[in-house]
Amino acid sequence: MKLLKRYSIALAALLLFGLLFFYNRDLGQEASGTILMSLKEMATILPPVFILLGLLDVWVPRGTMVKYMGKDSGVMGAVLAFVLGSAAAGPLYVSFPVAAALMKKDVKFFNVLIMVGAWSSAKIPMLIFEYSSLGPRFMLTRLALSILIVIIIALVLNSVMKDDEVREIYRKVREME
């Protein structure tokens, strides 16, 4: 029963997918192609990410992460988190295992939020594309707005969430091992 509850959303999606096939076979086949393409992409992206996360876990001591991105890291921790998120490769869903790895190393929650926000809005390849296609003025304006919005969202989330809620998230991340 616990297993059914844990995977209830996936099972519901599978049921809806089956109903789609029954209702409209062509649309169901198109959806199958999209799902298979997404699974193939994930299968090529996630293994290297998990290898890199394992190396991060082994090579970077917890004390170093706490020093540069932990509770007392200040502005420098947020800047490092933004650079990490901007320089990272891969789609947004890859940022979540990275965020979990950072949380296991006791990186400040605010900095984790900054990293995910930067990952979603300020990737270096995107900035280069904007610079070459739309010009430096557009790129710098959008980057400045992205930085501002990421900081605002991180501040709001950080202030709205209670300390015990954040501790619970960190506890659950540690249990994932």
Query: Do 76 and 116 contact (CB within 8 A), yes or no?
Result: no
Alpha carbons 73 and 78: distance in angstroms, whole number = 8
Domain that holds residue 31: 1-46
Q: In the structure encoding, which two tokens stand for residue 5, read together? A: 């509850």
Q: Is 52 part of a structural domain of the chain?
A: no
Q: Is 53 part of a structural domain of the chain?
A: no
Compute how many other C-beta atoms are within 10 angstroms of the C-beta atom of residue 5.
9
Q: What is the pLDDT of residue 156?
A: 97
Query: Do 144 and 113 contact (CB within 8 A), yes or no?
Result: no
Alpha carbons 14 and 153: distance in angstroms, whole number = 34
Query: Do 170 and 126 contact (CB within 8 A), yes or no?
Result: no
Q: Is 113 part of a structural domain of the chain?
A: yes
**What stretches in the chain show pLDDT beneath 50?**
none
pLDDT digits (tens, 9 = 90+) for 152-171: 999 999 999 999 999 999 99
Is 166 found in the same domain as 86? Answer: yes
Is 70 found in the same domain as 102? Answer: yes
pTM, two decimal places: 0.80
Is 25 found in the same domain as 94? Answer: no
What are the residues whose beta carbons fall under 8 Å from the beta carbon of 35, sequence distance 6 or more? 17
Is 169 found in the same domain as 83? Answer: yes
Is 67 found in the same domain as 34? Answer: no
Q: What is the pLDDT of residue 90?
A: 82
